[in-house]
Amino acid sequence: MANVTRKYLIAGNWKMNKTASEGAELVQEINLALGKQTDVGVAVCPPFTALENCARSLEDSNIQLGAQNMYPKSEGAYTGEVSPVMLRSLFCTFVILGHSERREYFEEDDAFINEKVLAALQSSLKPILCVGETLEQREAGQTMEVVKKQLAGGLEGVKADHADNIVIAYEPVWAIGTGKTATPEMAQEVHKMIRDELVAFYGETAAEKIRILYGGSMKPENASELMDQADIDGGLIGGASLKAKSFIELVEIARAK
């Protein structure tokens, strides 16, 4: 285990994949293999339209449910949006916020993401706040600066007593869906910086409890080395979470640590 104070978390981000019935099928398979274990935290984040079916399949399971986005208001005239209250009513524990695909395609900025983080916490949802640099930024030597800014922006106003409800996901944009993974050392360097920032924000005790996941082409072939790093506490998995076999394998790798 990377650290005795933190339980690994393996979370699947299904992105815009799986209908409600396909989602239920996938979750049932995962649940059969992993629903009873408690060594490692396991979460699946289906699209909104599959949440209810998945929630039903996960009754009495230790697998937790997460959403991929939300709007930072509890209700109102916001056509097409989904509120944190609605997600809680479908038994969501987590919500992914600030994913690079939302930053890029939907122009979400740190201030808006921060509103969502605060609204999620207010509704007892645990935000998985995503941060990460583009290839251009990495090549220009701006990785640390970019990630620090996203982290501080996303967490503004979050108090230390909420800190252990937060999960951070470091997802280098150039590694997402590309098959290119950050080397364990490259990832650890950024994870360590994130941990240091969290210590500065919340103090050592709270920061030591926050899980920092790696995301970006993580799969059974590279997960073990990544999770051996001191500050890598699991993964936010895209492609490899869409098949029960690879997702289960990833959880088993974390369990064996």
Nearest residue (beta carbon) to ligand 13P:
238
Q: Which is nearer to ligand 13P, 191 or 202 (CB)?
A: 191
> What DSSP letter does each residue of 20-81 carry, written as one string?
HHHHHHHHHHHHHHHTT--SSEEEEE--HHHHHHHHHHTTT-S-EEEES---SSSSSS-TT-
Structure tokens at 11: 């979370």
Nearest to ligand 13P of 41, 215 (CB atom):
215
As annotated, the active-site residues are 99, 171
Q: How far is the CB of 105 from ligand 13P (least distance, A)?
A: 13
The minimum distance between CB 254 and ligand 13P, in angstroms, equals 15
Residue 169 CB, nearest distance to ligand 13P (Å)?
7
State the Cα–Cα distance between residues 236 and 171, nearest whole angstrom: 8
Write the burial class of residue 62 (CB in 10 Å: 0-12 exposed, 13-18 middle, 19+ buried).
middle
Query: What's the CA gap between 104 and 135, in Å, rounded?
Result: 13
Q: What is the CA radius of gyration of the chain?
A: 17
By the criterion CB under 6 A, which residues form the site for ligand 13P? 13, 99, 171, 176-177, 215-218, 236-240
If the CB atoms of residues 41 and 239 are measured against ligand 13P, the closer one turns out to be 239
Which lies closer to ligand 13P via its Cβ, residue 201 or residue 246? 246
Pairing of strands 64-67, 41-45: parallel
Nearer to ligand 13P, 177 or 203 (CB): 177
Least Å distance between CB 247 and ligand 13P?
A: 11
Rounded to whole angstroms, the Cα distance separating 243 from 144 reads: 33
Residue 223's SS3 state is: helix
User: Measured between alpha carbons, how far is 241 from 27 in angstroms, rounded to an integer?
Assistant: 10
CB of 243 to ligand 13P, least distance (A): 12
Angle between helix 143-154 and 184-202 (nearest 10)? 40
